[in-house]
Amino acid sequence: MKKGKDGNPAPSGSDGAQTRREFIATAAVVGAGLALTGGLTEHAEAGEVINDPMAVKVQVPSPPSSIAVELNVNDKLEMVKVDPRTSLLDALREYMGLTGSKKGCDHGQCGACTVIVDGKRINSCLTFAVMYQGKKITTIEGLTDGEALHPMQAAFVKYDGFQCGYCTPGQICSAVAMLNEAKAGCVSAVTPDLACAKAQLTDAEIRERMSGNLCRCGAYPGIVEAIKSVAGV
């Protein structure tokens, strides 16, 4: 509810009627109260209608059991207490304040949430934070060296590797890990000879290897150029 300068609730809209925002806030508070009641009352069954002024049938789940997990992100250890349903992406963004990794589709299809775990790029939206204790996680925030941009970040700026920028942290994390994969001799679906020691990073190879990162602005030509400049090809 809105607060006045003195900290007391401010009067509602000039005509005394509740604004839409206030109504939603009030309803949310009532809802939370019901959930709490349900959780504490022995006889309240899940799905039962409990003293409901708005005649809304509420689901009353038992209070979520949080799990403490120590995450190693960008070389810093942090203990977070999370509901087991929390994705690694949500833990990074909502619990650790690392909002560089983005939530696009939240289903592992767009790559905006890409982070690097133990040297490998993954979709942080499609995994649970509780499974990541003891692993070394690097996000876009961890790629910079103080104020200095990572070479891949600088290349994205130089070669117009983005327009709106929403997919960019994922693109950059993905590109950094991809070049390490290529260095290690990893092949792709378009590598002509799978038995080769090291595939040549052609445009086709870069595009195939980066296909898990979508850019709705269509900045792909710039992204490919940026990656090529860092790879030195």
Partner 1 sequence: MKLFTYAKAGTTAESAIQEAAQKQGAHYIAGGTNLIDLMKDDVMTPDHLVDITALSCSQIEKIAGGGVKIGALVSNSDLANDPYIRSHYPVLSRALLSGASAQLRNMATVGGNLMQRTRCSYFYDVAGDCNKRKPGSGCPAIEGYNRMHSILGASGKCITAHPSDMCVALAALDATVHLAGPNGERKVKLVDFHKLPGNTPEIETVLNPHELIVSVELPAPVNGHSKNWCYLKVRDRASYAFALVSAAACLEMEGGKIKSARLALGGVAPKPWRAVEAEKLLVGKNADEKTFKAAAEAVMKTAKGYEHNKFKIELGKRTIVRALKVAASTGGMS
Is the distance from CB of 138 to CB of 74 less than 8 angstroms? yes
User: Nearest distance from residue 189's CB to partner 1, in Å?
Assistant: 4
Between CA 1 and CA 7 the distance in angstroms is 11
User: Nearest distance from residue 154's CB to partner 1, in Å?
Assistant: 23
Identify the residue among 22, 48, 83, 141 touching partner 1 (CB under 8 A): 83
User: Nearest distance from residue 20's CB to partner 1, in Å?
Assistant: 28
User: Nearest distance from residue 228's CB to partner 1, in Å?
Assistant: 17
Between CA 87 and CA 108 the distance in angstroms is 11
Cα-Cα-Cα-Cα dihedral sign, residues 50, 56, 57, 63 = negative
Note whether 126 binds partner 1 by CB under 8 A: yes
Identify the residue among 10, 24, 36, 131 touching partner 1 (CB under 8 A): 131
> Which amino acid does the sequence have at 9?
P
Binding region for partner 1 (CB under 8 A) out of 5-13, 17-25, 102-110, 152-160? 102-110
Note whether 47 binds partner 1 by CB under 8 A: no
Residues 103-122 that bind partner 1 (CB under 8 A): 106-108, 111, 114, 120-122
Between CA 55 and CA 34 the distance in angstroms is 12
CB atoms inside a 10 Å sphere around CB 186: 13
H or E element at residue 122: strand 120-123
Between CA 199 and CA 189 the distance in angstroms is 11
Note whether 186 binds partner 1 by CB under 8 A: yes
Between CA 25 and CA 107 the distance in angstroms is 29
User: Nearest distance from residue 225's CB to partner 1, in Å?
Assistant: 19
**Which chain residues interact with partner 1 by CB under 8 A?**
61-62, 64-65, 67, 83-85, 87, 106-108, 111, 114, 120-123, 126-128, 130-131, 174, 177-178, 181, 185-189, 191-195, 207-213
